[in-house]
C-alpha cells in the first residue's frame, strides 16, 4: 500500500512541482498542501458509501452488556452486512452460537418489545434477533442477560490521511486511479476545465475498471464534478 507521502509526491511529479520529504510534510504550503488535499479528495470520492469495496469490508466483534439492547457501530462504520450478525458461544453461559435473524425496527416494536417489558427478568436471555434502530445503531432482542460476543461484518470508511506515513487503503495496483482523481481536483483548482474534464473521464474509467476487477460487476459512475462551472463545484480543497 502507498503512503500519503508517496501519493503526494507522485501527484507533484505529474504536476511538475517541487516534491516534499517526510520532515516538511506536515508544514507543506501552497501547491504542496493543495496536492495533499487533492489526494484525500480523490480517495473520498472512491470510497463513497455506494462503493462496497472488498478491501474496506472487515469483521468486527462487539461485546454486549447485560441489560442493554442497542449499540453503536465503530467510528469508521459506513454500512453493515446485516446477514453476518452472529452470536458466539459464551463459555460462562449455555447459549447456542447462532446467526441472528434480521428484523425491522417496526417488527421489533410490534412483536418483541412487549415481551421484553412483560417477561420475568425483563425478558433477558441470549439474543436471537438484530435490527437497525432509528438512530442508526444496531439493536438486539431479547435483551442480553450476559456479556455475549456478537460478530458481524461491515464496510468501513477510513479517516483522511494525515501523517506522511499514513497508508492508503486503496490497493497499490490502483494508485494511478487515485492520482487521476487528484489531478482532476488540481486542474479544477487551477480553473483548467478542459484538463479537469479529461482527468475526470480517466478517473471514472479507472473506478469502473476497479469494480470489474475486484467486484466482478460493472457500474455506471455518474460524475458530479464536471457538470457545472468549476466556480460552483466544491472540490474539497482547503
What's the pTM? 0.78
Question: Per the omega criterion (within 30 degrees of 0), is the bond before 236 cis?
Answer: no
Give the mean pLDDT of 176-198.
95
Give percent of the chain above pLDDT 90.
Answer: 73
How would residue 214 be classed by pLDDT, with cut points 50, 70 and 90? confident
In this structure, are residues 50 and 124 in contact, taking their beta carbons and an 8 Å threshold? no
Q: What's the pLDDT score for residue 217?
A: 53
Q: Quote the CA–CA distance of 203 and 158 in Å, as a whole number.
A: 20
Confidence class of residue 231 from pLDDT cuts 50, 70 and 90? Answer: very low
CB-CB contact of 3 with 14 (8 Å): no
Instruction: Give the per-residue pLDDT at 62.
Output: 97
Query: How far is residue 226's CA from residue 200's CA, in Å, rounded to a whole number?
Result: 7
Q: 458461544: which residue's cell?
A: 89
Are residues 53 and 39 in contact, defined by beta-carbon separation less than 8 angstroms? no
- pLDDT at 171 > cutoff 70: yes
pLDDT at 233: 39
Strand partners, 99: 86
pLDDT at 227: 43
Task: Check if the beta carbon of residue 225 is closer than 8 Å to that of residue 200.
Answer: yes
Q: What share of the chain is helix, strand, coil (3-state, %, to 5)?
A: 40, 20, 40
Q: What is the pLDDT of residue 234?
A: 44
Would you state the pLDDT for residue 118? 58
Amino acid at each position: 500500500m502507498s503512503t500519503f507521502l508517496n501519493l503526494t509526491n507522485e501527484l507533484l511529479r505529474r504536476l511538475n512541482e517541487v516534491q516534499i520529504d517526510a520532515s516538511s510534510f506536515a508544514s507543506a504550503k501552497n501547491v504542496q498542501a493543495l496536492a495533499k488535499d487533492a489526494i484525500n479528495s480523490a480517495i473520498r470520492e472512491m470510497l463513497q458509501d455506494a462503493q462496497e469495496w472488498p478491501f474496506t469490508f472487515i469483521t468486527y466483534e462487539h461485546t454486549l452488556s447485560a441489560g442493554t439492547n442497542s449499540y453503536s457501530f465503530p467510528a469508521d462504520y459506513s454500512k453493515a452486512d446485516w446477514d453476518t450478525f452472529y452470536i458466539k458461544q459464551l463459555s460462562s453461559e449455555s447459549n447456542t452460537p447462532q446467526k441472528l435473524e434480521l428484523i425491522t425496527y417496526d417488527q421489533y416494536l410490534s412483536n418483541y418489545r412487549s415481551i421484553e417489558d412483560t417477561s420475568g427478568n425483563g425478558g433477558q436471555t441470549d439474543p436471537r434477533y438484530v435490527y437497525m434502530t432509528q438512530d442508526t445503531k444496531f439493536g438486539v432482542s431479547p435483551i442480553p442477560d450476559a456479556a455475549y460476543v456478537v460478530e458481524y461484518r461491515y464496510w468501513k470508511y477510513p479517516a483522511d490521511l494525515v501523517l506522511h506515513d499514513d497508508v492508503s487503503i486503496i490497493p497499490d495496483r490502483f494508485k494511478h486511479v487515485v492520482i487521476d482523481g487528484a489531478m482532476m481536483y488540481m486542474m479544477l483548482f487551477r480553473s483548467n476545465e478542459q484538463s479537469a474534464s479529461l482527468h475526470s473521464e480517466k478517473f471514472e474509467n479507472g473506478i469502473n475498471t476497479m469494480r470489474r476487477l475486484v467486484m466482478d460487476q460493472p457500474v455506471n459512475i455518474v460524475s458530479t464534478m464536471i457538470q457545472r462551472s468549476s466556480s460552483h463545484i466544491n472540490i474539497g480543497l482547503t
